[in-house]
Amino acid sequence: MAVGPLFHIIHMTDDLAGTEAWYEDVFSPYTLMESSYAEDLRRDASLVLLGDCVIEPLAPTFTAPDWAEFPLGRFFSRFGTHWHSLAFYSDDLLDVWRRAHANGVRVVGNSGASVSVIENEEQLSENTVINLHPKDAFTQIEIASIENGTALRDPRLVDGTDFDPEWWIKNHPVKTPGLAYTTVTVPDLNRAEQVYVEGLGGTLLHKGESELTGTSDVYVQLGDTVVQLSRPTRDGTLAAQDFEKFGNMHHAAAFKVQDLDATKEYFDSKGIATLTRDDQTLITDPATTKGVVFRWTTWDVPGGPRDTTR
């Protein structure tokens, strides 16, 4: 499978230091990368691990006079604090490009102030990172070569580090191994399924309806990660409000937990409010989680990587 392990999900924020401090206080994450500045992107960001999931808290470099002219700045200007995108590793960018191109998904190159569509294989050879156009893939998806420098330092992929993905299960009140799934809102489930299965080589796992989130859902495993493609089915839910305001995009991150009541009690102690819940899933108020939608669930996606019955 050309699309491999999840690299990270991006938490776009207007306060990087405050967001990093919040993650440290609530989750005691493993730091993969300290805060750093990328001049070609006009952004400041860090990388932290929660279970086996890397989260990238990121903010445009507001001190740069032209920050709003770059893609991340343009995203922030339009959407504000929000989940931004998904990023995966790959050992075959050419296969990713071919699949995407054949299914009508535009691929763009390394993102500077301007981006251009990669129209042929010769252009692709100039890139170690590519991005799927968010209008075609329903959110931005970054695909990075497994041979790039970050992968070679990723403690999930290399030996000899002190990273323990089970540390949170053994030691932390939020006993999470990492993501259960992550949610992308879409207007057309059939087209989204085609893009993620045929266009990206994912595996269809499950389809269903959720009364809690008010969505019709398709679950696709992409690499080692389950992506929930969700179409809102009624007004008034977080998913519907987000979709009505912004359209299709990376909407939520759902982390697996062992005990919902214990998780809620811990979040209450940290000032993190529960917006709604059922017997299997709890949704916390984004106003108390630095502006992004988190879900916490005991449910395993049937056939997915955390399903112990398969």
Of 151, 134, 168, whose CA–CA distance to 266 is shortest? 168
Domains 3-153 and 167-297 share a fold: yes
The pTM for the full model equals 0.96
Over residues 218-277, the pLDDT tens digits come to 999 999 999 999 999 999 999 999 999 999 999 999 999 999 999 999 999 999 999 999
Looking at the DSSP bridge assignments, the partners of residue 36 are 45
CA–CA separation, 274 and 235 (whole Å) = 19
Over residues 58-74, the pLDDT tens digits come to 999 999 999 999 999 99
User: 167: helix, coil or strand?
Assistant: helix
Residue with tokens 């999900």: 9
Looking at the DSSP bridge assignments, the partners of residue 47 are 33
Is the distance from CB of 230 to CB of 208 less than 8 angstroms?
A: no
Confidence of residue 306 (pLDDT cuts 50, 70, 90): very high
Over residues 88-137, the pLDDT tens digits come to 999 999 999 999 999 999 999 876 666 789 998 888 887 788 999 999 99
For 114, residues 6+ apart whose C-beta sits below 8 A from its C-beta are none
> What pLDDT score does 114 carry?
66
The CATH H-level (homologous superfamily) assignment of domain 167-297 is 2,3-Dihydroxybiphenyl 1,2-Dioxygenase, domain 1 (3.10.180.10)
Run of H or E residues at 96: helix 93-102
> What pLDDT score does 151 carry?
66
Confidence of residue 158 (pLDDT cuts 50, 70, 90): confident
Q: What is the CATH number of domain 3-153?
A: 3.10.180.10
CA–CA separation, 275 and 287 (whole Å) = 10
Domain limits, the chain: 3-153, 167-297
